[in-house]
Structure 1
Amino acid sequence: MAIDDLLNEHEQSERVRSWLQKNALGLFGGVALGLGLIWGWQWWQKSHHENRVAAGETYASAIKALETDPAKAKTAVAALPPGSEYAALASLQLAKTQVDADQRDAAIATLRGIKTEDAAVASVARERLARLLTDGGKPQEALKLLGAPQSAGAWEAKGDAHKALSQLDQARAAYAKALAQLDAGSPDRRLLELKLTDAGGTPSNPDGKT
């Protein structure tokens, strides 16, 4: 190897040593920060997983209480993380249990308290609440709650509210829209057809023919 090459290598190594001395603090700080972020992320994942497992166990306990000890079910449901999917689903089941026990007002309160970002769960809660409001003599409030329905069940609930108000034209229109969203083999078609007939309408076949 030539002398010039050796000098260049020595010069390069000195430059590297000098750069490391000047930037050592920053390098170590960056490494420490990176390790801290990795540890923080792992801790968050572990904590999040443990919280979900705990919530799942609490949900299972709440559902068991609904089946075996309804008197304690409300407390069990209340122990679930507010706003979680577990809390919303358990509250839906609690409301059903309350309806079965002829506790309509309690069921209404339970459904009103459901907070969820899941659009499907929110839609089911809104639909069930509207039905209970209509059954409880508050069809106007049910209509306001339903707004512009997106599902067959919500359209049916809207039809029920209109019928309770003797608004038969609107009721027939709502029932017809509900039927239009159901498959020919749906078990809900027969009841909807009866409701439409009772409101003065004529059910159409699934192919659109009367």
Structure 2
Amino acid sequence: MAIDDLLDEHEQSERVRTWLRNNAAGLIGGVALGLAAIYGWFWWKDQSTAKQMKASDEYQAVLDQIQAGKIKDAQVKAAGLKDTSFAALAALDLAKAQVDSGKRDDAIATLRAAKTDDSVVSAIVSQRLARLLIDAGKGEEALTLLNGGDDAASHEVRGDALFALGRKEQARDAYNKALGLLDVAAPQRRLLELKLSQAGGTPPKPESAS
């Protein structure tokens, strides 16, 4: 190996050592920040998992109280699920229990307070609340609540509200839209056809239904 090559390698080594000495603090700090970020992520994940598990246990407690017929106790426990993904589910179960025990207005209040970011669960809450509002003679409010819903269930409940308000032509239109979104073999189709007939309409023939 030539002397020049040895000098070049020695010079490069010195440069590396000098750079490390000058930047040691920054390197250590960067590694520390990286480790802190990794630790923080795992900590957050563990905390989130623990929170979900706790909420799941509390939701099960709500179901247990409902099954035991302790509606008021279930209501108290359901309130503790606020701001969790189980809050709306607990509200649906609680409202059903309230209706079954003859407390429709309590069920309406329960569903009014139910909040969720899940679009599917939110639609179910709106539909069930709308049905209760129709039963309570508040068809117009039910229609407002269902505004924007374009699935079969929403059209069906909208038809129920319109029929209750005496607007049979519009009810027929809503029922037809609901039927158009259902499979011919759908179990709820027969009931929808009966509702359409009651509103003065004619159910479409199976071959023409989509």
TM bracket, shorter-chain basis: over 0.9
Whole-Å Cα distance in 2 between the matches of residues 127 and 190 of structure 1?
19
Moved over 6 A (4+): none
Q: Is the 8 A contact 2:98 2:107 kept in 1?
A: yes
The match for 1:161 is 161
Report the 3-state secondary structure (helix = DSSP H, G, I; strand = E; otherwise coil) of the residue aligned with 1:142. Answer: helix
Aligned length: 208
The match for 1:67 is 67
Identity of aligned residues (%): 52
Shift of 1:3: 2.1
Q: Which amino acid aligns with 1:10?
A: H
The match for 1:180 is 180
Question: Would you say 1:151 and 2:151 are equivalent positions?
Answer: yes
Q: Is the 8 A contact 2:61 2:77 kept in 1?
A: yes
Shift of 1:5: 2.0
Q: Which amino acid aligns with 1:161?
A: A
Q: Is the 8 A contact 1:180 1:206 kept in 2?
A: no
- Superposed CA deviations along residues 106-163 of structure 1, whole A, max 9, x for unmatched, are 1111111111111100000001111111110110111111113322111111111111
The match for 2:78 is 77
Report the 3-state secondary structure (helix = DSSP H, G, I; strand = E; otherwise coil) of the residue aligned with 2:205. Answer: coil
- Superposed CA deviations along residues 47-95 of structure 1, whole A, max 9, x for unmatched, are 1111111111111111111111223110111111x23321111111111
The match for 1:123 is 123
Report the 3-state secondary structure (helix = DSSP H, G, I; strand = E; otherwise coil) of the residue aligned with 1:207. Answer: helix
Report the 3-state secondary structure (helix = DSSP H, G, I; strand = E; otherwise coil) of the residue aligned with 1:85. Answer: coil
Q: Which amino acid aligns with 1:66?
A: I
Q: Which amino acid aligns with 1:155?
A: H
Q: Is the 8 A contact 1:83 1:114 kept in 2?
A: no
The match for 1:133 is 133
Matches within 5 A, 1:19-30: 19-30=19-30
Whole-Å Cα distance in 1 between the matches of residues 205 and 148 of structure 2?
25
Shift of 1:188: 1.2
TM-score by length of 2: 0.94
Q: Is the 8 A contact 2:123 2:149 kept in 1?
A: no
TM-score by length of 1: 0.94
Report the 3-state secondary structure (helix = DSSP H, G, I; strand = E; otherwise coil) of the residue aligned with 1:201. Answer: coil
Whole-Å Cα distance in 2 between the matches of residues 93 and 205 of structure 1?
37
Matches within 5 A, 1:37-76: 37-68=37-68, 69-76=70-77
Bigger drift between 27-36 and 147-156 goes to: 147-156
Shift of 1:180: 1.5
